[in-house]
Chains A and B, each alone.
Chain A
Amino acid sequence: MNNTMSIIFASDNESKLNELTLHRTTASLPFCGRYRCIDFVLSNLVNSSVTTIGIITRSNYSSLMDHIRMGRDWDLNRKNSGIAVFPPYASNTSTNVFKGKIEALYGILDYIENSDDEYVIVTNSNIIASIDFDDVYDAHVASGADITMLTYESKPTTSKRVIVEKDFTGRVTGMRITKSASEENAELGLFCYLFKRTQLVSLITETYERGKIDLEKDVLQSNVDNLKIYAYKVKGHAALVDDIKSYYNESMATLDTEIRDSLFYSVGKVFTKVKDSVPTRYCEGAKVVNSLIADGCRINGKVENSILFRGVIVEEGAVIRNSIVMEGGKIMKGSKLNYAITDKDVTVTEDKSLSGSESYPVVVVKNKTV
């Protein structure tokens, strides 16, 4: 679909990732051993030939800039398209950091208006899924929709969720924007939309001029009757990462072979920044079971049901269970981790023990030594 551009929101002011996003946007949150959350959306777009991509940042965006650079690792360092990163205050209309997505989109209206593309994909960056946007486009055209919203099936959590009600044709007839958790599965919005570009421009302008700022509430929910909004349920595994619990659960979900096949081998490759790490070395004391291990690690201890990012060192006698150890982590002799998330460059010194629970994993912030 090379007649389409995309706008990605690097962070969502609704997210509750706490310690994990102290130093970074949701987009640059490390995920699944060698990725950042945004890699999934970016790769999905690139795999569907969407190569004009604007990324709207809100704060803490240096880690994202460092990750994306010129977009080369996604083949987005192009002459006539490619990546544009918009920091806050990018336009002369913005005097404050934006509060809602409409405000942010209004701030870069020139960028959207100046494009020749017919369509725009407006999306969050915390969607873990393999999405075939060519198929989304076909469905959009076939349904005659004004807006196609991507959905997935899951249980509502205490984070912002849009519950979609639709008729038998797939047209959305109502939306409930909720923060109440439920044990029952529902069709939920993925915060990813396909708009006709000119229509998006007028919707942004009109909504902004009426003093409204919220994309879901003020553009979609309030226009359910006036606009033809259709739901497109993403095939395969899909998830939103927006709090510690969903981060932990979705990370652990990637240990499942079926989910991994869906994310990495169903539509296209997932690209990320290349770091030229060496292969991982298993030493004599290594005992690894059901785990995902990135390159550049050195393992001489036990690792079970865990995810190790690039360059993690597990010393002799260390035991890591049900945990996530981000890049450059060093777990020294005799230490034990259970239900823990250690951020980048954390050192756990000898014979320490860190233990959380499945619903409340302990989080150790970046660069700390325990």
Chain B
Amino acid sequence: MYTNKKECVAMLLAGGQGTRLYSLTRDLAKPAVSFGGKYRIIDFPLSNCINSNIDTIGVLTQYKPFDLNQYIGNGQPWDLDRLNGGVFVLPPYMKGETSDWYKGTANAIYQNIEFVDKFSPEYVLVLSGDHIYKMDYAQMLAYHKEKKADCTIAVINVSIDEASRFGIMNTNPDNSVYEFEEKPKKPKSTNASMGIYIFNWSKLRKYLIDDENDKNSSNDFGKNIIPNMLKDGQKLFAYNFSGYWKDVGTISSLWEANMDVLNEDSGINLDDSAWKIYARNTAEPPHHVGKDAVIRNSLITEGCKINGKVSNSVLSTGVEICEGAVVEDCNIMPGAKICKGAVVKYAIVGSNAVVGENAVVGDKQTEPVNGQWQITVVGPNAKVAPNTVVPVKAMVD
């Protein structure tokens, strides 16, 4: 029988600015930031959804949405152009007398209750658009059903030192959650929330409405919804995930995640025919490697023109490395050009940026300082003048 009904609808929170990425997100939302040569961050949750047989996804956008909207388009690259379901971009909208920006993660879903209701789902999967990982949500959903949970939260085991940077789920032996602590000073466990939730829609719907009526609430899943459900004795379970997962919210972690794609032992294998990551294609010819090029341990994609030396780097679509240029341990975003004789090390070069002839950007790093790599950033469309030196950790706009 034909019906609009979907068992599970995904809601992807993609409205954040990602202020800690500075100039990289000045003109676009964080989920639209380029990653791993030919991807954008949002390709990961979108591909995970389609690979997990979830074909109805609302993408909640707010901050600088045009690049993201254009990138998602009708969803065809992810096989999400469907007659019933598919991908929907959901910006805030006017409602009778009122209209509001999305005030928080929970409020964003609250404002789209009618959208979710159209598919009468049993479950809603809440995702965020700033993580790099491959995960089968279908397995998590099966776990949620098996536990007869009201809410299941994906967690990853982090080191005790890191634990105070995350939302921590304290669990009973059966994995049910008895307490949630946001960035605890003295963590009791190391189960960090990955920001991935499955809710029974009828329950979540009620909590969203109650939360909206609470004037003191900050309308946030971690701060309000989860604690309220715990307080009321709802059944919350932790779902342990053990694969690769990385929050790419900072310059250091974004750079590091790109390096992880290079490192075949890191656990984020993108060359996996059983779990493809899809991306919108830009119709560029194969990359050309010139007579003087030297390339070692790097990822290079369509449209690149390489005539210089490239090592330990991830080059995105249409990047040009001219003769005598040296690129080491870098992530170069689409369309950027490194001119003759320029030297770029431990840097992120933004889309369509130009590093002028004989300029020097960044320098070799041996280890992170307080957990943060000292990465130099050339912002999107920025121009580094010839013969200039951009010091370590500087940002060129």
Contact = CB atoms under 8 A, between A and B. Distances in A.
Interface of A: 32-34, 72, 255, 257, 260, 263-264, 269-272, 274, 276, 278-284, 286-296, 298, 303, 307-308
B295 interface: yes
B296 A295 contact: no
A32 B283 contact: no
A250 to B, nearest CB: 14
A289 B289 CA distance: 6
B223 interface: no
B286 A34 contact: yes
Contacts of B283: 269-272
B348 interface: no
A276 B278 contact: yes
Interface in B10-61: 36-38
B285 A278 contact: no
A280 B287 contact: yes
A228 B301 CA distance: 48
Contacts of A289: 289-291, 293
Given A34-B302, A288-B295, A278 B270 contact: yes
B296 A282 contact: yes
A281 B299 contact: yes
Given A274-B281, A278-B270, A295-B302, A284 B296 contact: yes
A257 B295 contact: no
Interface in B73-101: 76-77
Interface of B: 36-38, 76-77, 270-271, 276-279, 281, 283-291, 293-302, 310, 314-315
B297 A295 contact: no
B286 A294 contact: yes
Do most interface residues of chain B lie in helix, strand or loop, or is the interface mixed?
loop
A272 B290 CA distance: 24
Contacts of A296: 271
A270 B301 contact: no
Contacts of A279: 36-38, 299-301, 314-315
A4 to B, nearest CB: 22
Given A269-B283, A270-B283, A274-B281, A280 B288 contact: no
B49 to A, nearest CB: 15
A292 B281 CA distance: 18
B295 A282 contact: yes
B289 A293 contact: yes
A292 B287 contact: yes
Given A280-B299, A283-B297, A286-B295, A274 B77 contact: yes
B290 A290 contact: yes
Given A274-B77, A286-B295, A33 B300 contact: no
Given A279-B38, A282-B298, A288 B289 contact: yes
Contact of A32 (B76, B276, B285, B295): B285
12 contacts: A276-B281, A278-B37, A279-B38, A280-B287, A281-B271, A281-B299, A282-B300, A284-B296, A292-B285, A293-B286, A293-B288, A293-B300
A279 B331 CA distance: 13
A33 B286 contact: yes
The 7 closest A-B pairs by CB, nearest first: A33-B286, A279-B37, A279-B301, A294-B286, A279-B299, A269-B283, A274-B281
A234 B38 CA distance: 34
B298 to A, nearest CB: 5
Contacts of B298: 281-282
Contacts of A291: 288-289
B311 to A, nearest CB: 9
Nearest to B287: A293
Contacts of A295: 38, 286, 301-302
Given A279-B36, A282-B295, A282-B300, 12 more contacts: A34-B285, A270-B285, A276-B279, A278-B37, A278-B299, A280-B299, A280-B300, A281-B271, A289-B290, A292-B285, A293-B300, A295-B301
